[in-house]
């Protein structure tokens, strides 16, 4: 029963199932936790110092709605040099999530269809529904690749937007250049907005990162510092795309988030010059550890990026496997939290190698006993 004061729009989705796993984690003593969606490395020292200095030198007030100039201008220069698009403008959002909320709020009218790829990041479907949109899910099992024919068939006169995330949460799959170019061109010819959530951009292990914005000038890119520099709690993201859309998002930011935290924006400008290559190299090894440790007993598409793998134990549902794993003190996330299907489970390898090795041992023994 909802309370009579609670608005109808909040009842069209449930609270995130991931939170239930976190609540469970809090009750287990020293779990082998493979459920966490954030880096296990800390914010680089120079970035921390920049934040502390900003606080100590009084940069504590509201930032400009569109972002503190030191960060926004640096982002704009980088984006201009990367894309060279005449009408590509950036603003600083309150995390990537803030960018996603404002993108949906600015673009989705009630009844608009939004194409999502199943499995998808947990926030996408509720956000589409919150603004009265209709999520249209494209099934990408079993290899999690983009099938352009399926996308073309899913586009109707009601389609407003396609939302793509590569490298992807929960699968770790990176879309290749052919897929992204095809998707970008399809969106352009069918006059549908293409939103690209690029929060895992630095975490590419096999091929260089490719943005669909390279092939479609109107692509709206959402990115941020949460994963790249482990700044999940600092809430700094950014969005770039056609200026008229970005201006609308800034207008809505005025009446909602107001701004991203100012000290964290000063730190973001330093983060732009702070490479995370050594962490990426270590995460590539973790990815390899997982692939080598599970591939013979589980169905597993080799992840090319992010820090997730999305395996399946043949014959066992995702939630049954996660329940068995919890009995052995291993925390995973069932795939049905990200999907209409309950076949797979998500594991995050953003943790110490010793923890990963213990987790692999437990998963292997569960699979053998099944
Ligand atoms: C695909 C994807 N997009 C967006 C976010 C949210 O990021 P932020 O912390 O910057 O809001 C996440 C976080 O897990 C994510 O996995």
How far does the centroid of ligand 1 lie from the alpha carbon of residue 96, in Å? 6
Report the distance separating Cα 98 and Cα 253, nearest Å. Answer: 9
Q: What is the arithmetic mean of pLDDT over 234-261?
A: 98
pLDDT of res. 31? 92
pLDDT of res. 356? 98
Phi then psi for residue 271, to 5 deg, are: -60, -35
What global pTM score does this model have? 0.97
The finding on whether 226 has its CB within 6 A of some atom of ligand 1 is yes
How far does the centroid of ligand 1 lie from the alpha carbon of residue 35, in Å? 14
How far does the centroid of ligand 1 lie from the alpha carbon of residue 226, in Å? 7
The finding on whether 35 has its CB within 6 A of some atom of ligand 1 is no
**H/E element, 324:** helix 318-327
Phi then psi for residue 280, to 5 deg, are: -60, -40
The finding on whether 99 has its CB within 6 A of some atom of ligand 1 is no
**Is residue 235 predicted with pLDDT exceeding 90?**
yes
Is residue 213 within 8 Å of 82, Cβ to Cβ? no
Report the distance separating Cα 202 and Cα 195, nearest Å. Answer: 18
The finding on whether 94 has its CB within 6 A of some atom of ligand 1 is no
| Strand pairing report for 237-242 and 32-33 | unpaired
- CA distances in angstroms from 302 to 141, 167, 207, 336, listed in the order given: 14, 12, 13, 20
**Is residue 228 predicted with pLDDT exceeding 90?**
yes
pLDDT tens for 67-83 read 999 999 999 999 999 99
Residue among 22, 43, 169 to mutate when testing ligand 1 (max atoms within 8 A of CB): 169
How far does the centroid of ligand 1 lie from the alpha carbon of residue 343, in Å? 23
Ligand 1, atom 13: closest residue by C-alpha: 37
Atom of ligand 1 nearest to the CA of 98: 11
Q: Which two tokens stand for residue 273?
A: 């010059």
Confidence class for position 13, pLDDT limits 50, 70, 90: confident
Residue with structure tokens 């209709």? 134
Supply the DSSP string of 125-189, one letter for each residue. Answer: HHHHHHTT-EEEEEE-TTTT---HHHHHHH--TTEEEEEEESSPTTT-----HHHHHHHHHHHHH
Ligand 1, atom 14: closest residue by C-alpha: 37
pLDDT of res. 16? 66
pLDDT tens for 161-208 read 999 999 999 999 999 999 999 999 999 999 999 999 999 999 999 999
Q: Is the dihedral of CA 279, 362, 141, 135 positive or negative?
A: negative
How far does the centroid of ligand 1 lie from the alpha carbon of residue 232, in Å? 8
Domains in the chain, start-ordered, CATH in brackets? 8-43+276-369 (3.90.1150.10), 59-271 (3.40.640.10)
How far does the centroid of ligand 1 lie from the alpha carbon of residue 296, in Å? 31
Confidence class for position 120, pLDDT limits 50, 70, 90: very high
Confidence class for position 1, pLDDT limits 50, 70, 90: low
Q: Name the packing angle between helices 353-369 and 318-327 (round to 10°).
A: 110
Residue with structure tokens 């591939």? 295
pLDDT tens for 309-355 read 999 999 999 999 999 999 999 999 999 999 999 999 999 999 999 99
**Is residue 117 predicted with pLDDT exceeding 80?**
yes
Residue among 226, 264, 346 to mutate when testing ligand 1 (max atoms within 8 A of CB): 226
pLDDT of res. 369? 95
How far does the centroid of ligand 1 lie from the alpha carbon of residue 284, in Å? 20
How far does the centroid of ligand 1 lie from the alpha carbon of residue 210, in Å? 18
């Amino acid at each position: 029963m909802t309370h009579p004061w609670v608005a109808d729009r909040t009842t069209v989705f449930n609270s995130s199932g991931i939170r239930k796993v976190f609540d469970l984690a809090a009750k287990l003593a020293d779990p082998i936790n493979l459920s966490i969606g954030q880096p296990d490395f800390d914010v680089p020292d120079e970035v921390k110092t920049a934040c502390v200095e900003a606080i100590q030198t009084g940069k504590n007030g509201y930032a400009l709605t569109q972002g503190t100039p030191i960060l926004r201008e640096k982002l704009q220069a980088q984006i201009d040099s990367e894309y060279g698009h005449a009408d590509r403008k950036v603003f600083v959002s309150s995390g990537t999530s803030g960018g996603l909320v404002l993108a949906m709020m600015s673009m989705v009218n009630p009844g608009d269809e939004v194409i999502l790829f199943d499995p998808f990041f947990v926030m996408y479907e509720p956000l589409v529904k919150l603004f009265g949109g209709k999520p249209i899910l494209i099934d990408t099992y079993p290899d999690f690749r983009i099938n352009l024919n399926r996308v073309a068939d899913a586009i109707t006169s009601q389609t407003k937007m396609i939302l793509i995330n590569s490298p992807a949460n929960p699968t770790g799959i990176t879309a290749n250049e052919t897929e992204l170019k095809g998707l970008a061109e399809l969106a352009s010819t069918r006059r549908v907005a293409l939103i690209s959530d690029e929060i895992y951009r630095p975490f590419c292990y096999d091929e260089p990162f490719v943005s669909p914005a390279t092939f479609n000038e109107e692509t709206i890119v959402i990115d941020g510092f949460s994963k790249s520099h482990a700044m999940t709690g600092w809430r700094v993201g950014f969005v770039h795309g056609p200026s008229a859309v970005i201006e609308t998002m800034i207008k809505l930011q005025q009446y909602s988030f107001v701004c991203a935290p100012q000290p964290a924006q000063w730190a973001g400008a330093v983060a732009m010059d702070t490479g995370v290559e050594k962490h990426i190299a270590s995460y590539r090894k973790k990815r390899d550890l997982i692939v080598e440790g599970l591939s013979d007993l589980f169905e597993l598409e080799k992840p090319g990026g992010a820090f997730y793998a999305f395996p399946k134990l043949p014959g066992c549902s995702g939630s049954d496997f996660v329940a068995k794993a919890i009995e052995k003190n291993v925390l995973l996330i069932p795939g049905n939290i990200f999907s209409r299907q309950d076949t797979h489970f998500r594991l995050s390898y953003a943790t110490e190698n010793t923890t990963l090795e213990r987790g692999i041992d437990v998963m292997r023994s569960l699979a053998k006993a099944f």
